[in-house]
Amino acid sequence: MSNLRAAARRAAASAPEKEILSFESYGQRYWLKRGRKTGSNPLHYAAWGLSRFPLLIPVSHQSRREALRHESGKIRRLESLGIPVPRILIEENDWFVMSHTGPTLRHLLYRKDRNETLTLSAFEALGRLHAMGEYHGGSQLRNLTWTNEQIHFIDFEENFSEEVPLETLQLRDLFLLLFSLAKDHIPLDYRRHIDRYRTISGNEDFDRRLRDLFARLGWLEKIITFSPIWSLLDKDTKATYRIIQEIKQL
């Protein structure tokens, strides 16, 4: 058995409940990930049916093992396309081991290393991924990492019905990235970042599509800006509201 496999089995046995854990072997850091069931509840399906809001597209039901196979398979395929993702080094029935691809963007931006290089790189990387006919599925800041001066994508367990058009999933990716930046109060030149994404992805009309989408939510906006309600809202809704305001002005 290889040294790495032995170290991975030890790490897995030492934390049988953990879904994700890092361990070291010969001075190198690795991540071990277990499968986790995925799926959306009936309320979620209903909300999607009514609103068609891209953030609400229901996630396919997968068993732990299916989710694991889906994720490792997708990472391998993206790697073969030259997309920066971790390398899958070991795969067993219940977990796989991947290389460490650096700190997350959330961590870096949170520590106030708020340089535009990082945020612009994220929009460029997402644009390149989309230009290759792919989508991420979870493009929040905590699922983007930075190593060797390059954005890497992690966390691909979410799967969607084949019926959902690729464009919708890509629009959802772009929205998720904007959403997680707004949620963490990271200041952003929206025009600049979205333009960078559009040029690289070739999705020329995505800013218009976001604007159209938000225009349909005008009634919601009236309700949520009513001040007694505003004070009751959660961070997610407030972040969504902030993005709507920014995008409408583009």
Ligand X SMILES: Nc1ncnc2c1ncn2[C@@H]1O[C@H](COP(=O)(O)OP(=O)(O)O)[C@@H](O)[C@H]1O
Residues that bind ligand X (CB under 6 A): 19-20, 31, 33, 86, 98, 100-101, 104, 142-143, 145, 154-155, 157
Q: Does the protein bind Mg ion through residue 157 (CB under 5 A)?
A: no
Which three-class secondary structure string do you get for 67-116? HHHHHHHHHHHHHHCCCCCCCEEEECCCEEEEECCCCEHHHHHHCCCCCH
Query: Which residues, other chains included, contact 89 with Cβ-Cβ below 8 Å and sequence gap of 6+?
Result: 4, 30, 97, 98, 99
**Least separation, in Å, of the C-beta of 138 and Mg ion?**
6
Query: Which residues, other chains included, contact 84 with Cβ-Cβ below 8 Å and sequence gap of 6+?
Result: 101, 125, 150, 151, 152, 153
**Least separation, in Å, of the C-beta of 3 and ligand X?**
19
Helices vs. strands in the chain: H and E counts, helices first: 11, 6
Q: Which of 155, 158, 207, 246 binds Mg ion (CB under 5 A)?
A: 155
Cα dihedral 94, 95, 96, 100, rounded to 10, equals: 180
Residue type, 212: D
**Least separation, in Å, of the C-beta of 208 and ligand X?**
31
Residue sitting closest to Mg ion (CB): 155
Residue sitting closest to ligand X (CB): 155
Number of residues assigned to the chain: 250
Closer residue to Mg ion in complex, CB, 143/145 = 143
Which element (helix H / strand E) includes 20? strand 20-25
Q: Which of residues 125-154 bind Mg ion (CB under 5 A)?
A: 143
Closer residue to ligand X in complex, CB, 37/235 = 37
**Least separation, in Å, of the C-beta of 1 and Mg ion?**
29
Closer residue to Mg ion in complex, CB, 139/170 = 139
Closer residue to ligand X in complex, CB, 37/191 = 37
Residues that bind Mg ion (CB under 5 A): 143, 155
